[in-house]
Amino acid sequence: MFSKSRGKIAAVLALCLPVLVAGMASPSTADSGRYLLEVTANTSEERTKVAQIGVDVIGATKLTTVSVVADRSQYRALKATGLPVRYVGDFEEQLKSLGKVDFTDPKPGEVGTQDFPSGYTGYHNFAEMTAELEQTVRDHPTLASLRSIGKSYQNRDIWALKISDNVGTDESEPEVLFTCNQHAREHLTVEQCLQIIKRYTDNYSNSAIKNMVDSREIWFVPMVNPDGVEYDIATGSFRGWRKNRQGNGTDLNRNWGYKWGCCGGSSGSSTSDTYRGTAAFSAPETARVRDFVNSRVVGGVQQIKTHIDFHSFSELVLWPYGYTRADTDTGLNADEARAFQTLGRQMAASNGYTPEQASDLYITDGSVDDWMWGQHKIWSYTFEMYPSGGGLDSFYPRDTAIATQTARNNGAVDLFVGYSDCVKRIIGQTC
């Protein structure tokens, strides 16, 4: 039996009354072997310890309660840390009650044939996103251009859209990059990229928008992980899938080449949800975005000055480094840290998220923001979108939330684009 402290009667009840089991405070013999847990972890050290057990960390509520999905042995390991662990419920029972998450493997040939389920049709699958980008270019041929920066593992195009005046010319304007959806199940982030694209093109007659678009070259990679997206929706329900589709899947946000795998912030086990891959950039998706960013070094100068990578969920604005808890380290001095913090806090004041250094959440290595800054001195932020907390269902807000939760970032995004000529201007310095 799983829990030594539980008596025989409870075990019998658990078998007979699965409805009661859902409300019980610890796993039963009739469980699926996967649990939704809440761990109280007040510090980055404690949260990193939780992540290192190998559980699927699905969100950090108010930075003290970490929601995780754990199997039996991970549950035991978590309890052995001495951190308070609350059993929320049998994971698969919880998902069934949500009625929209299903771990059935897609049938051969099924991937790519399904759309989002009802209540979610406002989200864009890969084909719909592609069509939306093509339509944007048709509607605004002088403002928007579209290119493929290469293929995913399963041969889908990774699209990059550029917005600027004289879009066909590489002008001498600060370049800005937005990336979305490294993590498959974080579908709201695709909608965030598409919303910024729409707002900057459809509202070009607005003088504030026109000033931004005319003075910058703004790049978007709205779906970094298209294979993962299609897999996540392939059965007509959601699968809770995070990684790409190479082998058991690589966590793209642990596969970047700056201090890859250095610091206990990723896993070397291919079944882990934070698997770092066999080498830095072993995933074609990160390699293609890397190639694109490297290609923006013109005459020895990186043209891209700033970058936001959108994720969900927890409502956070994060800045480098993620691999270390130190505020400053090689390549990141005190003034730069202060500029990161100042812009990060101002963006968070605008959208109501919580601002902090990435490692204040938990240590990660091989994440995109560390590479963008460590390799290229691109001012790189990670946004964790709505909602602020919850279980696996929090990756799947109804499509009715898209408009409000993407518009919520209008002020932060505009502030960010505005400072993209010189982020240090925000602390009174020149570039």
Residues that bind Ca ion in the complex, under the rule CB under 5 A: 164-166, 170-171, 217, 303
Query: Does residue 243 bind Zn ion (CB under 5 A)?
Result: no
Position of tokens 């864009």?
A: 124
List the single partner that 166 binds among Zn ion, Ca ion, ligand 0X9, none, CB under 5 to 8 Å by kind: Ca ion
Instruction: Kindly state the helix (H) or strand (E) to which residue 291 belongs, with its residue range.
Output: helix 284-295
Nearer to ligand 0X9, 136 or 406 (CB): 406
Position of tokens 């000055």?
A: 305
Contacting ligand 0X9 (CB under 6 A), which of 6, 49, 183, 305? Answer: 183
Neighbouring residues of 322: CB distance < 8 A, sequence distance ≥ 6: 265, 357, 358, 359, 363, 364, 365, 367, 369, 370
Q: Going residue by residue from 119 to 138, which x/- string records binding to ligand 0X9, judged by CB under 6 A?
A: --------------------
Q: What is the Cα–Cα distance from 123 to 115, expressed in whole angstroms?
A: 9
Q: How far apart are the first and last CA of the chain?
A: 64
List the single partner that 165 binds among ligand 0X9, Zn ion, Ca ion, none, CB under 5 to 8 Å by kind: Ca ion
Query: Does residue 311 bind Zn ion (CB under 5 A)?
Result: yes
> CB 168 → Ca ion: shortest distance, Å?
9
Contact 315, 387 (CB under 8 A): yes
List the single partner that 369 binds among Ca ion, ligand 0X9, Zn ion, none, CB under 5 to 8 Å by kind: ligand 0X9
SS3 92: helix
Nearer to ligand 0X9, 276 or 311 (CB): 311
Nearer to Zn ion, 140 or 245 (CB): 245
How many residues are given for the chain?
431
Contacts with Zn ion by CB under 5 A: the residue count is 3
Position of tokens 């003075």?
A: 215
Residue number of the CB atom closest to Ca ion: 164
> CB 313 → Zn ion: shortest distance, Å?
8
> CB 5 → Zn ion: shortest distance, Å?
36
Query: Does residue 318 bind ligand 0X9 (CB under 6 A)?
Result: yes
Q: What is the Cα–Cα distance from 406 to 178, expressed in whole angstroms?
A: 14
Q: Is-catalytic flag, 384? A: yes
User: Where does 164-296 show beta strands of DSSP type E?
Assistant: 175-180, 217-221
CA triple 165-424-162, angle to 5 deg: 25
- The letter for the amino acid at 237 is S
Q: Going residue by residue from 348 to 387, which x/- string records binding to ligand 0X9, judged by CB under 6 A?
A: ----------x--x--x--x-xx-----------x-x---
Nearer to Zn ion, 27 or 322 (CB): 322
> CB 369 → ligand 0X9: shortest distance, Å?
5
Contact 393, 98 (CB under 8 A): yes
Catalytic residue among 38, 230, 285, 384: 384
DSSP conformational letter for 310: E
Long-range contacts of 202-211 (CB under 8 A, 24+ apart): 202/139, 204/140, 204/143, 208/414
List the single partner that 360 binds among Zn ion, Ca ion, ligand 0X9, none, CB under 5 to 8 Å by kind: none
List the single partner that 171 binds among Zn ion, ligand 0X9, Ca ion, none, CB under 5 to 8 Å by kind: Ca ion
Position of tokens 């204040």?
A: 360
> CB 140 → ligand 0X9: shortest distance, Å?
31
Nearer to Zn ion, 311 or 376 (CB): 311
Long-range contacts of 78-85 (CB under 8 A, 24+ apart): 78/37, 78/39, 78/50, 78/53, 81/46, 81/49, 81/50, 81/53, 83/39, 83/40, 83/41, 83/46, 83/49, 83/50, 84/39, 84/40, 85/37, 85/38, 85/39, 85/40
Query: Does residue 253 bind ligand 0X9 (CB under 6 A)?
Result: yes
List the single partner that 358 binds among Zn ion, Ca ion, ligand 0X9, none, CB under 5 to 8 Å by kind: ligand 0X9
Nearer to ligand 0X9, 69 or 358 (CB): 358
Contacting Zn ion (CB under 5 A), which of 183, 185, 216, 243? Answer: 183
Which of the residues are catalytic?
384
Chain positions contacting Zn ion, by CB under 5 A: 183, 186, 311
Chain positions contacting ligand 0X9, by CB under 6 A: 183, 186, 253, 311, 318, 322, 358, 361, 364, 367, 369-370, 382, 384
